[in-house]
Amino acid sequence: MEIEKAIASGVVTIHPTAVVHNTVIFLVEQGQAPVLIHDRVKIGPYCILQEGVEVCSQAVLYSCVRLDRFCKIGRKSFIGHGTILRECTTVGDVSVVAHLVCCEGDTAIGHDTIVHDQSHVTKGAKIGDYSFLGPMSMGVNDRKIVHRRPEREDWKPTPYEVGDWCRIGAGAIMLPGVKIKNNSQVGAGAVVTKDVEKNTTVMGVPAKEVSR
């Protein structure tokens, strides 16, 4: 739905100080949860926002961002070009989800956290406050790889977690269910196969503790 029609029909509320490009598309209909765009928000061209999306004060969405149902972007946060946030993803205040990132939904990203370019955040993952995920880092939540198999009917994701004040190097991979606890570091290219304890640095394939 175009901006003028969306505002007129009451399915979108845009604060007068927000700047929304005229190519933004709102995929929301009468009777659905409205889209809320707060003060001093900037939304670039060709973005797509679905029902229930909320973009809080001073947040910035660059071009071609897609926010699916009930996503919420915190205050002063930045969403980069071509990033996709699937339904029920939340981004805290003063955070960066950079360019060409994909979050698969039901994901919680904390405050003052950076998820760098081309990272992949799997369904159900939780990332804490003040953490950094390097470029092309990714998580895995499928223990069986059941795509196109009968087991798919009983499949449930096994998400990973990243705590507060963590640093994840470029290209690191987090396997299903691992917990990277507060103030820990994962080296670039590492494959994390088991929990990383607090204040610990791990490196390698598979990742092993190198300091604490």
Beta strands 185-186; 167-168: pairing state: parallel
The region of weakest confidence among 11-25, 48-62, 148-162 is 148-162
Residue 143 has pLDDT above 80, yes or no: no
Q: Could you tell me how many residues make up the chain?
A: 212
The pLDDT assigned to 149 comes to 65
Dump pLDDT digits (tens) for 30-86. Answer: 889 999 999 999 999 999 999 999 999 999 999 999 999 999 999 999 999 999 999
Cβ neighbours for 129, distance < 8 A, ≥ 6 positions apart: 92, 110, 111, 112, 113, 164, 165
Q: Which amino acid is at 170?
A: A
Q: What is the 3-state secondary structure (H, E, C) of 3-47?
A: HHHHHHHCCEEECCCCEECCCCEEECCCCCCCEEECCCCEECCCC
The region of weakest confidence among 4-8, 31-35, 119-123 is 4-8
Task: Give the DSSP letter of residue 155.
Answer: -
Dump pLDDT digits (tens) for 162-199. Answer: 999 999 999 999 999 999 999 999 999 999 999 999 99
Of the two residues 148 and 132, the one the predictor is more confident about is: 132
Residue 147 has pLDDT above 70, yes or no: no
198-207: average pLDDT: 96
Tokens of 45: 């061209």
pTM of the model: 0.91
The pLDDT assigned to 198 comes to 96
Inter-residue contact 115 to 121 (CB < 8 Å): yes
Cβ neighbours for 170, distance < 8 A, ≥ 6 positions apart: 116, 134, 135, 136, 137, 188, 189
The pLDDT assigned to 111 comes to 98
The pLDDT assigned to 47 comes to 97
Average pLDDT along the chain: 93
The pLDDT assigned to 59 comes to 98
Residue 1 has pLDDT above 70, yes or no: no
